[in-house]
Structure formats: C-alpha cells, structure tokens
Amino acid sequence: MSMSFLFTFTIIISFGLCILYASAELQRLSHSSKHDGALSFLVLGDWGRRGAYNQSQVSFQMGKVGEKLDIDFVVSTGDNFYDNGLTSDHDNAFQESFTQIYTAKSLQKQWYSVLGNHDYRGDAEAQLSPVLREIDSRWLCLRSFIVDSELVEIFFVDTTPFVEEYFTEPQEHKYDWRGIGPQKPYITNLLKDLELALRESTAKWKIVVGHHAIRSVGHHGDTQELINQLLPILQANNIDFYMNGHDHCLEHISDTESPIQFLTSGAGSKAWRGDIKGMNRRDVNFFYDGQGFMSVKLTQTDATIEFYDVFGNVLHRLTSSKQLHSSM
Ligand SMILES: *[C@@H]1O[C@H](CO)[C@@H](O)[C@H](O)[C@H]1NC(C)=O
Ligand SMILES: [Zn+2]
C-alpha cells in the first residue's frame, strides 16, 4: 500500500517536472502598435565598425527613412561589433560603433538585436548585459526571444549555435559558448520552444529573425543546418518572412515550397565582396552587393518591404497582402 503510494507519488513528480521542462518559454516582450494599428521598423545587419565602410552613410539614410516612416523600432540581425564582438560590457566599441553612430532623432527608438557569429568571438554575454542598457537605453540584445505587437509577432532566434563548423573547425577563432551548454540539447530545446510559440501565435503577421541566412546567394550561401532543422518548422507554421544578416548584402529570395520570403539585410558596413553564387537561380528576386538596409511597414492587410542603398535610393520593393477576416 505505502509502496504503491510512493510509486504513484514518484510518477506524479516526474510527470510534473516533464511538463515544466517542456514548457520552458521564450522570453516575450510586448511592443504596442500605433493607434492606427500600423507598425514600421528598419532592419540592419553586420554593422559595428566605428563608422567605417559606409556605416555612417547607412546610418544617415536610416535616419531619413526612419523619420518618413515614423518607425516604431529597429531590428539588428547580428554581427553587431567587428571584428570580435565586445571585450566586456565596458568596451568603448559599444559607444563608438552604436551610440555615436546612430544619432538621428528617428533612430532613438528601441533596438532589438540578436547575436551573430562575430559577436560570439568576443564576450557574448557582454552584449546581453543590462549594463549596456544603462549606457544606451535603446539597446536590447537577447539570445532568443519574441517581440509581440499583436499585429505582428517577431521571433528572434539565436542561429550561431546551429552551425557545426564553429564547433568542429573554429580555426583561429575562439567562440564564447558560456551560457549555451552542450550544443545538441540547446538547439533541441530552442526549436521545441520556438515551434510551440509559432503554433500558438494568433498574430496577423509572423516574422522570424536570425543572423544566418536560410537561403542566400552571397559569400556564405545557404545555411544547411537551418534548412534541415529550422525551415520545416517555419513552413509548417505559416511564417511570412525570414530575415537575416551574415552575408554582407541585400537579398530577396522566395521559398520554392511555401509562401515564405527570405530577406537578407546584412549590409550595415563592409560590403562589395563581389562573390555571388547562382544569381540565375529562379527563386532569387533581388540581390545587391553594396551597403544598405531594409524597411518594413505592416498593416492588418498589407506588408511593404523596401531595400535602400547608401544614397537612400529604393533598390527593390516587395508587397504582400492578406484578406481581412470577414465575419459575414
Ligand atoms: C561606399 O559606398 C559607395 C556607393 O555605393 C561605394 O562606391 C564605395 O565603394 C563604398 N565604400 C566602401 C568602403 O565600401
Ligand atoms: Zn555573420
């Protein structure tokens, strides 16, 4: 009798722990939309070089476009500080490459950032530190998290730990894997949490942001680990856009198996690599090898995405429409 009680008790305890473990949630931040229900933001990647390589020119044009669109926030797709992230949360590069560069009035908004592979080559945890937010309150960088504005949910995914090469052939680079633990369980748990959050999302628009491209014809090309592990989850959950940096260019590629559009904005500073693969691929709608950034404007029914160069010229525009739910 007491044995069976103990047994049942143990089962209940283990089951309870399982549930707790399985429902570990991604951190969720809310960002309310404007009264008219619209939302707009800029997307920038691969930028922190103390203004060099046209970083300052890109910043100047972002300020102008940000003003015109009355942006709500800025998204950074990672590789925030070159060459090797920050050395600590007191590294001057934070002010010299961020605070003193993105000075336009319209850019004094919340920035939501992920880490890129170059950020992992420094003190990765420094970029996540609240100390940076005391220095510049715009800054917010986390590993994986959700920004929820009702109209849109943006799922930020830490893609660097997916890439096998950084573990097996790090060459001269040292990656800061503190806080990640063993690679496999980290990825498995992240994908499980992401899948659950995507499945439960009721937002009109669903956007996923990562540092590495799923599809790219730039220098690094496609990321096979993300094609294998992340893409199926996005395809199964009606994602509208996947946005990334890593390749120092601007790109728009369509998924051949779903309505997902792949958008690269990794042209925040050093660009013009001149290394383009498979431009004649039928899924490639747009590729630009130089510096620039991207803007996104969303309403209940329409998305408008534009790519700009250092002169503020619109190089490419894509629009996407959705039916309003009819109650009739
Ligand atoms: C800066 O942008 C201009 C215009 O696209 C380009 O000609 C120039 O090469 C760029 N400079 C660098 C260092 O990439
Ligand atoms: Zn990168």
Compute the residue count for the chain: 328
Q: What is the pLDDT of residues 213-231, one digit of tens each?
A: 999 999 999 999 999 999 9
Q: Which of 31, 90, 173, 220 is catalytic?
A: 220
Tell me the residue type at 321. S
Which among 178, 177, 187, 141 has a CA at the least distance from the CA of 47? 141
Give binding residues for Fe cation as ranges. 46, 79, 82, 117, 211, 246, 248
pTM of the complete model: 0.92
pLDDT confidence of 286, banded at 50, 70, 90?
very high
pLDDT surpassing 80 at residue 11: no
Contact 285, 253 (CB under 8 A): yes
Q: What is the rounded distance in angstroms from the CA atom of residue 19 to the CA atom of residue 16?
A: 5
Q: What is the pLDDT of residues 240-250, one digit of tens each?
A: 999 999 999 99
Domain 25-321: top CATH class: alpha beta
31 is catalytic: no
Report the relative pairing of strands 110-113 and 152-157 from DSSP bridges: unpaired
Q: What ranges do the domains of the chain cover?
A: 25-321
Whose tokens are 């790090």? That residue is 170
- For the CA of 309, the nearest atom of ligand 1: 5
